[in-house]
Chain A
Amino acid sequence: MLEIRWHGRGGQGAVTAAEILATSVINEGKYAQAFAAFGPERRGAPVLAFTRISDKEILTRCQIYEPDIIVVLDKNLCTMEGVGDGLKDNGIVVLNTDQKAEDYLQVFGNAGKIAVVDATEIALRELGSPITNTAILGALVRATGVVGLETLEEVMRQKFKQYAEKNINAVRRAFEETVVFEAGGKK
């Protein structure tokens, strides 16, 4: 089983990203859950979302405390207090940032891989707004191969309808531009 924690801000679409990923995995015949840590939702406030992925039926419905993968949709949250909490040793981190992956070795000391992409720039260019969830999905697929890019695109076509193509372009560009750094894991 693979457990993913998403960090974003209200309005960036972290919950939607968690759901799109789960739906894509389910469409590939596997099992998945997507859920959010719901609070008083408001635009701009830090939010958490989660995705679980498995080849077998998922029994647990507990929250996720020790993720295999951490995805951060907002540049300013990449170094936020607690962002790396509970990451499994040699886990994978996917960050929206214009900095180098090496700059985050301190924050995610036990990460096996750190993938970086400037999702904000891609979102602004492709969508005209800083909604980074679809770009970061492209980076996640590049770093993990957790689902097929085509399956993801099909789910987005159904969900976003007339806005699908722009978002698919964002996914593809992020997939191309993501830099995956072998961080070496726990020393």
Chain B
Amino acid sequence: MARRVGISGNYAVAYAVKMADVDMIAAYPITPQTTIVEKLSEFVANGELDASYMNVESEHSAMSACVGASLTGARVFTATSSQGLALMHEILFMASALRTPIVMANVNRALSAPLNIWNDHSDAMAQRDAGCIQLWVRSAQEAFDTTIEAFKIAEETRLPVMVNLDGFILSHMYEPVELADEDEVRKFIPSRPLENRVSTKKAHAVGVVGPPEYYYEMKYQAIDAIEKSRLKIKEIDKEFNSRFGKSYGEIEAYGMDGAEAALIVMGSIFGSAKEVANSLREEGKKVGVISLRLFRPFPIQEIRRAVEGIKAVGVVDRATAPGGVGNPLYNEIAAALYDMPERPAIQGFVAGLGGRDIRQDDFRLMYSATEKAAREGAGRCIYVGLRE
């Protein structure tokens, strides 16, 4: 039976991983990811989860161990944050190109320096091009549901899936979560042995040199796989809906009826952005908000449809790309909308770096700057809340 409980976002992930009946977990603890792996090691130690829990000396080793284990056909999981994800960098590219269906939770945290344990999106954005599917959740409930979907997406696309949840704001916040029935979860993602690609009985060469004659084609297979994963992700979300009565889609548009200006956001700020949009609409302002749940592959068509008829969008980046044209999300949105016949003005914002709270007034400022962009065109990127 499904049950409604009060737990943190990290525990929601741990419960989902337990219900997914993983075979192997390799992880190195790092704030604010720690309570995920703490809970999982407890499940393994007390016999509630029959899995091999591998203690490693670094995140580089954690991801390497996951790639190895995944090649044997095991269902594997890891979790990390910030510097830990950065240390996994080179192995992430191998995980995707070797087509290992690893599921990882990345509890978003700023990158040093200065040392900072709080939330922003710079860790995941730095891994944008590693070839992993990236999902972004907005509540503890979504962290639970998305982690379950992630195992199915990973195994059906043979690609690593990164589930991103905001450090502290989601990872450590206690809130209501409906935990699905474990048997139902197992029916949704049955533990079936995937192909063992390193079996001694069947000769396979994995991770070999790809000279110029072969590298390009092999790389293209991974590119093609993530491109094609769009359809799978849609299908799996539908299937999740028919079994659990919930679906999330690639994006979620809120208050867009008759809207002239809309914010585009990722992660946990969606709720606050909706609340402020509600009060602005009561004041007669025509504003809405769009949240991306899928960042890789980028939901191009969904975004284009959502902004049709909108005069301006305000893109809220929680990571930067210093010296670039714009910041990571801004650049994606600008490229996605570029050849629309009537594209909206695109106003860039940076907000909430290193755990700086994005307050209600900050949202009001961003909505009003986006409305201004609708009238006068977009200006330069606004660094919201930055002290002089």
Partner of B174, one of A35, A61, A62, A63: A35
**B-contacting residues, A1-56, CB 8 Å:** 18-19, 22-23, 25-27, 31-36, 38
Partner of A59, one of B5, B169, B271: B271
In the bound complex, CA of A24 to CA of B180 (Å):
20
Partner of A26, one of B4, B272, B275: B4
Knowing A34-B173, A35-B172 are in contact, say whether A61-B269 is a contact too (CB < 8 A).
Answer: yes
Chain B, Cβ-Cβ closest to A29 = B4
Say whether chain B's binding surface is mostly helix, strand, loop, or mixed.
Answer: mixed
**Could you tell me if B275 and A59 are in contact, using CB atoms closer than 8 angstroms?**
yes
Binding stretch for chain A, among B92-100, B324-332, B355-363, B368-376: B355-363
- Interface size bucket, A side? 20 to 34
Chain B, Cβ-Cβ closest to A40 = B117
Report if A60 contacts B (CB, 8 A). yes
In the bound complex, CA of A59 to CA of B176 (Å):
12
Partner of B173, one of A25, A31, A61: A61
- Interface size bucket, B side? 20 to 34
Knowing A35-B168, A35-B172, A35-B174 are in contact, say whether A63-B357 is a contact too (CB < 8 A).
Answer: yes
Question: Measured between C-beta atoms, what is the minimum distance from A30 to chain B in Å?
Answer: 9
**Could you tell me if B268 and A59 are in contact, using CB atoms closer than 8 angstroms?**
no
Partner of A23, one of B6, B117, B118, B357: B6
Report if B318 contacts A (CB, 8 A). no
Partner of A31, one of B176, B268, B275: B176
Say whether chain A's binding surface is mostly helix, strand, loop, or mixed.
Answer: mixed
Chain B, Cβ-Cβ closest to A31 = B176
Knowing A23-B6, A26-B4 are in contact, say whether A60-B173 is a contact too (CB < 8 A).
Answer: no
**Could you tell me if A32 and B359 are in contact, using CB atoms closer than 8 angstroms?**
no
**Could you tell me if A33 and B117 are in contact, using CB atoms closer than 8 angstroms?**
no
Interface string of B141-176 (1 = CB under 8 A from A): 000000000000000000000000000110011111
**A-contacting residues, B1-44, CB 8 Å:** 4-6, 32
**Could you tell me if B6 and A38 are in contact, using CB atoms closer than 8 angstroms?**
no
Please indicate which of the listed interface residues A22, A25, A38 has the most CB atoms of chain B within 10 Å of its own CB.
Answer: A38
Contacts of A33 on B, CB cut-off 8 Å?
A: 173-175
Knowing A60-B271, A61-B272 are in contact, say whether A36-B175 is a contact too (CB < 8 A).
Answer: no
**Could you tell me if A61 and B169 are in contact, using CB atoms closer than 8 angstroms?**
yes
In the bound complex, CA of A65 to CA of B359 (Å):
10
**B-contacting residues, A50-83, CB 8 Å:** 58-63, 65
**Could you tell me if B172 and A36 are in contact, using CB atoms closer than 8 angstroms?**
yes
Question: Measured between C-beta atoms, what is the minimum distance from B356 to chain A in Å?
Answer: 10
Contacts of B275 on A, CB cut-off 8 Å?
A: 59-60
Interface string of B339-367 (1 = CB under 8 A from A): 00000000000000000011110000000
Partner of B175, one of A27, A32, A65: A32
Knowing A32-B6, A59-B275, A61-B169 are in contact, say whether A26-B176 is a contact too (CB < 8 A).
Answer: yes
Contacts of A23 on B, CB cut-off 8 Å?
A: 5-6, 174
In the bound complex, CA of A65 to CA of B360 (Å):
11
Interface string of A110-126 (1 = CB under 8 A from B): 00000000000000000
**Could you tell me if B172 and A38 are in contact, using CB atoms closer than 8 angstroms?**
yes
**Could you tell me if B359 and A62 are in contact, using CB atoms closer than 8 angstroms?**
yes
Partner of B274, one of A22, A25, A59, A62: A59
**Could you tell me if A62 and B357 are in contact, using CB atoms closer than 8 angstroms?**
yes
**Could you tell me if B5 and A26 are in contact, using CB atoms closer than 8 angstroms?**
yes
In the bound complex, CA of A63 to CA of B360 (Å):
10
Contacts of B32 on A, CB cut-off 8 Å?
A: 38
Chain B, Cβ-Cβ closest to A65 = B359
Contacts of A60 on B, CB cut-off 8 Å?
A: 271-272, 275, 360
Please indicate which of the listed interface residues B173, B176, B269, B360 has the most CB atoms of chain A within 10 Å of its own CB.
Answer: B176
Knowing A26-B4, A61-B269 are in contact, say whether A35-B357 is a contact too (CB < 8 A).
Answer: no
| Partner-A contacts on B (CB < 8 A) | 4-6, 32, 117-118, 168-169, 172-176, 268-269, 271-272, 274-275, 278, 357-360
- With A23-B174, A33-B173, A61-B169 known, 20 other A-B pairs at CB within 8 A are A19-B174, A22-B174, A22-B175, A23-B6, A26-B176, A31-B175, A32-B174, A32-B175, A34-B6, A34-B175, A35-B173, A36-B168, A38-B172, A59-B272, A60-B275, A60-B360, A61-B268, A61-B269, A62-B357, A63-B357
